[in-house]
Each structure stands twice: as C-alpha cells, then as structure tokens.
Amino acid sequence: MNTEPIVIERTYNVPADKVWQALTDINKINQWFFQLEDFKPEVGFAFSFSGNDNGTRVVHESVIKEVIPGKKLAYSMIYKDYPQESLVTFELFDEGDKTRLVLTHSQLAEIAKGSPMYAREKFLGGWTYLAGKLDDFLNK
C-alpha cells in the first residue's frame, strides 16, 4: 500500500510558455486533457471533468489552488463517488527550447494545509496501522 504522492516527470521539446498555454488555454486543454466548459488560471476557479475508469464515467471536481504564471499550476481534485480530496500540481522548469514538467498528484491535500509534519506523521501512522489490519483481514 502506497501513500507516497505520484510524481511524473516529462521533458517536452517546446519552450515553457507553450506548455503553460497547453495547461491553461481552454482551446488547448480540450485537445489533450478533457472537454472543459471553461477554464481560467485563477485561484478559486472551479471546473469539473468526466474521466473514464474501466468503462465507468467518473466525475472529478477541481478548484484551482495556486497559479504562478508560466511556472506552477495546482488544483484540488475530488472524484465525486469517492470523496477523497487530492492535489494536482504542474510545475514547469524552463530549459531553453525545452521544458521539464513535473506533475505531482498527492492525496495529502488536507494535511498539506495544516501543520504538515504532525499531520503527516499522524496520517502515516494511521495508514500503516490500518494497512496491517487490512492485510490481517485479507489473509484470514
């Protein structure tokens, strides 16, 4: 059982502003991500999209949490039928005519807000404990 955030890194052969536009311009978002009705790179802007999970339509709801133009975009994500808030962060690193993108998807959104270390330890302690219980249960 893994509680570490998902981190995926990619390098694209275009300048950072191109990647930023692809992340924030509605006409471009619609071509690689999902069909959104509207999108504004502003803190507090809310949007939703339907993903597909093994044939089941799943609605995700998001609210933008942080915007540093050209560099960083973060939004919360809640999957409607499974209300576990998570945080998605796109960070762009300008490497001349290339751009390194680091995507981080963390379940620890709630924890990141508060007193981080304490909450994280508490959370991980809880998780380790429960994971053990789950293993016990499944192996009965």
Partner 1 sequence: MRRDVFQAIADPTRREIIGMLAQQSLNLNNVADQFAISRPAISKHIKILTECGLVTITQQGRERYCHADFGKLKQVADWTARYQKFWTEKLDALGAFLDKEQQTKKK
Give me the residues that bind partner 1 (CB under 8 A), please: 1-2, 4, 6, 8, 10, 12-14, 18-19, 22, 28, 31-33, 51, 53, 78, 82-86, 101, 103, 105, 107-108, 110-111, 119, 122-123, 126-127, 129-131, 133-134, 136-138
Nearest distance from C-beta of residue 6 to partner 1, angstroms = 5
Nearest distance from C-beta of residue 53 to partner 1, angstroms = 7
Nearest distance from C-beta of residue 131 to partner 1, angstroms = 8
In contact, 60 and 78? CB cutoff 8 Å = yes
From first CA to last CA, the distance across the chain in angstroms is 18
In contact, 7 and 102? CB cutoff 8 Å = yes
Rounded to whole angstroms, the Cα distance separating 130 from 123 reads 11
